[in-house]
């Protein structure tokens, strides 16, 4: 921690691709509507998988290519990232202005071009010749989406991808925040992008961690997660830079924190210890107190253990508001985007602040009394006076990360 006052860092642009298509407006409208975002899987043959549903983006590759630009070797995840970055840059008013600025790209991800790599491997294995479409592998690295964005927008600062499982995106937000505070970069793209793959579908099936019905975070009858895909980018800048060019601040990123459980490779710490340390670290970094937090965008996967551990951590952080702290769980609407989940949930957290409204967590059923605060269930969401929102991400390997956003005017 530094003693000097924190340099205000703001969000100046948002962009995303989700099960509801390209754009933050589509995402927001989808979150508010009763229309289901988690539906039948069509990307690949679902036979043999317990779950046959996903938060799948229905945009065709051609449509994504048309919107995104980029080269012919771009994977679906690359295109999600490019679409999201273009939207965020346009909203920030930075089109054509980036070449004179030091831009850093901080992405979180898990699968990137793995889906394309799976196809390549299957074709190589069946032909035993080994020269099938090698170019498709150029988008295979998990770092590819961030690097594609960096090349298109001419970034010359750090271009780093965090791959710490499902906490990756929120960890990337923390890196971007620090890079701006230290003056290392003028503009930071914090993003993430992951597409549906057979490997992750098969893996979560094997772990018996998926629900055959759309996931129901914090409900008593929850039975697992639902996978999703998409990408998101937040353009972050120092507030003074945005004001100097007459731009608009959408929200402030007050702080970020993280910690490891050091408990188990897949199961969260049963008491949510790592998650609690991450949130406390975030609040310290933000120079805020727990009572400053107006709502939580929970990790909320819908698995028995995750929701329980997460709620135990929240109960410790908010001992006086255990039942009253408003909680949303975006994964119930769009599925679990794995490494990029934290970034799209950060976008949703900012949208909630902007609209002064919390989106509903769909699907009825009793809320688990052992695993939830005040889960937002009202049809159409809940209008509230919101100043801050805490977004939490937990991942395999005991990775935990949190980020605190506020209105630009806070405090």
Partner 1 sequence: MNSNPPILIVGLGTVSSLGSDTESLLKHLHSGETPAHTMDRSNGWHRARGARLAALLRGPESAWRPSGIAMRRFSRPSRFAVAAAARALPGRAAAHDPVAHDPDLGVSMATMFGPSLFTQSIMDQTLDHGPSAVSPTLFTECVANAAAAQVSLVMRARGPNFTLLAREAGPACAVIQAMDLLRRGRATRMLAGVAEEITPFLHSRLDRFGALARPASGRAEKARPFGRRRNGVLAAEGATVLLMESAASRPSGGMPPLAAVIGGRMAFDPTSTRSGWGQGIETLGKALTGLLEQCHLSPDSIDLIVSGAGGSHHGDLLEARILRHVWRRSPLPPILAPKAMTGEFGGAFLAAAVLAAAGLYRGTPTQDFEPDPELGLAPCLDPPLDPPRRTLITAPASGGPYGWLILERPAP
Subset of residues 149 to 188 that bind partner 1, contact rule: CB under 8 A = 150-151, 153-165, 171, 175, 178
Binding to partner 1 (CB under 8 A) within 12-51 occurs at 47-49
Q: What is the DSSP string of 265-276?
A: SSSPPTT-HHHH
Binding mask 46-75 for partner 1 (x = CB under 8 A): -xxx---------------------x-x--
Q: Does 243 bind partner 1 (CB under 8 A)?
A: no
Q: Does 143 bind partner 1 (CB under 8 A)?
A: yes
CB of 235 to partner 1, least distance (A): 17
Q: Does 110 bind partner 1 (CB under 8 A)?
A: yes
**Which backbone phi and psi does 383 adopt, to 5 degrees?**
-85, 130
Where do runs of H (alpha helix) occur along 207-329?
A: 239-244, 273-285, 304-317
By CB under 8 A, name the one of 40, 60, 62, 128 that touches partner 1: 128
* Whole-angstrom distance, CA of residue 98 vs CA of residue 266: 40
Q: In terms of CB distance, is 128 or 379 closer to partner 1?
A: 128
Token readout for 392 is: 């939490």
Binding to partner 1 (CB under 8 A) within 247-276 occurs at 258-266, 273-274
- What angle, 0 to 180 degrees and rounded to 10, lies between the N-to-C axes of helices 114-127 and 198-206? 100
* Whole-angstrom distance, CA of residue 121 vs CA of residue 130: 9
Q: Does 123 bind partner 1 (CB under 8 A)?
A: no
Residue 120 annotated among the catalytic residues of the structure: no
Give residue for tokens 């055959």.
212
Binding mask 349-378 for partner 1 (x = CB under 8 A): ------------------------------
260-265: Cβ within 8 A, 24+ apart: 260/397, 260/398, 260/399, 260/400, 261/398, 261/399, 261/400, 262/398, 263/398, 264/398, 265/396, 265/397, 265/398
Residue 336 annotated among the catalytic residues of the structure: yes
Binding to partner 1 (CB under 8 A) within 188-217 occurs at 198-199, 201-208
Residue 269 annotated among the catalytic residues of the structure: no
* Whole-angstrom distance, CA of residue 308 vs CA of residue 209: 14
Active-site hit among 83, 166, 282, 352: 166
Token readout for 160 is: 């780093």
Q: Please answer whether residues 314 and 373 qualify as being in contact, where contact means their C-beta atoms are separated by less than 8 angstroms.
A: yes
Token readout for 137 is: 């592998």
CB of 238 to partner 1, least distance (A): 18
Active-site hit among 120, 140, 336, 359: 336
Q: In terms of CB distance, is 59 or 194 closer to partner 1?
A: 194
Q: Does 139 bind partner 1 (CB under 8 A)?
A: yes
Q: Does 295 bind partner 1 (CB under 8 A)?
A: no
Q: Does 142 bind partner 1 (CB under 8 A)?
A: yes
Active-site hit among 120, 140, 269, 299: 299
Give me the active site residues, please: 166, 299, 336
């Amino acid at each position: 921690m530094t003693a000097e006052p924190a340099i205000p860092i703001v969000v100046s642009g948002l962009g995303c691709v989700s099960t509801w298509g390209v754009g933050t407006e589509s995402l927001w409208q989808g979150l508010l509507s009763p229309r289901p975002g988690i539906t039948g899987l069509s990307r690949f043959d679902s036979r043999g998988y317990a779950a046959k549903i996903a938060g799948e983006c229905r945009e065709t590759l051609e449509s994504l290519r048309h919107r995104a630009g980029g080269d012919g070797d771009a994977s679906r995840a690359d295109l999600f990232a490019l679409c999201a970055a273009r939207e965020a840059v346009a909203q920030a008013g930075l089109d054509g202005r980036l070449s004179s600025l030091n831009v850093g790209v901080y992405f979180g991800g898990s699968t990137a071009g793995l889906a394309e790599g799976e196809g390549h491997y299957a074709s190589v294995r069946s032909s035993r010749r080994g020269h099938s479409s090698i170019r498709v592998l150029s988008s295979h690295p998990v770092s590819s989406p961030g690097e594609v964005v960096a090349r298109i927008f001419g970034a010359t600062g750090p271009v780093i991808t965090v791959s710490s499982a499902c906490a990756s995106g929120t960890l990337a937000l923390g890196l971007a925040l620090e890079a701006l505070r230290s003056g290392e970069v003028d503009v930071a793209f914090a993003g993430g992008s992951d597409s549906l793959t057979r490997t992750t579908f098969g893996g979560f099936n094997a772990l018996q961690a998926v629900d055959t019905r759309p996931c129901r975070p914090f409900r008593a009858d929850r039975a697992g997660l639902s996978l999703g895909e998409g990408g998101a980018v937040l353009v972050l800048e120092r507030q003074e830079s945005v004001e100097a060019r007459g731009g608009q601040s959408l929200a402030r990123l007050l702080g970020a924190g993280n910690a490891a459980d050091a408990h188990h490779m897949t199961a969260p710490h049963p008491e949510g210890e790592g998650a609690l340390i991450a949130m406390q670290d975030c609040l310290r970094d933000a120079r805020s107190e727990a009572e400053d937090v107006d709502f939580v965008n929970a990790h909320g996967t819908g698995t028995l253990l995750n929701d329980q551990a997460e709620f135990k951590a929240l109960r410790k952080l908010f001992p006086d508001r255990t039942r009253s702290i408003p909680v949303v769980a975006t994964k119930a609407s769009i599925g679990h985007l794995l490494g990029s989940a934290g970034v799209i949930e950060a976008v949703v957290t900012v949208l909630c602040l902007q609209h002064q409204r919390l989106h509903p967590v769909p699907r009825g059923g009793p809320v688990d009394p052992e695993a939830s605060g005040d889960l937002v269930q009202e049809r159409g969401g809940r209008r509230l006076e919101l100043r801050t929102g805490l977004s939490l991400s937990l991942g395999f390997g005991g990775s935990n990360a949190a980020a605190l956003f506020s209105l630009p005017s806070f405090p």
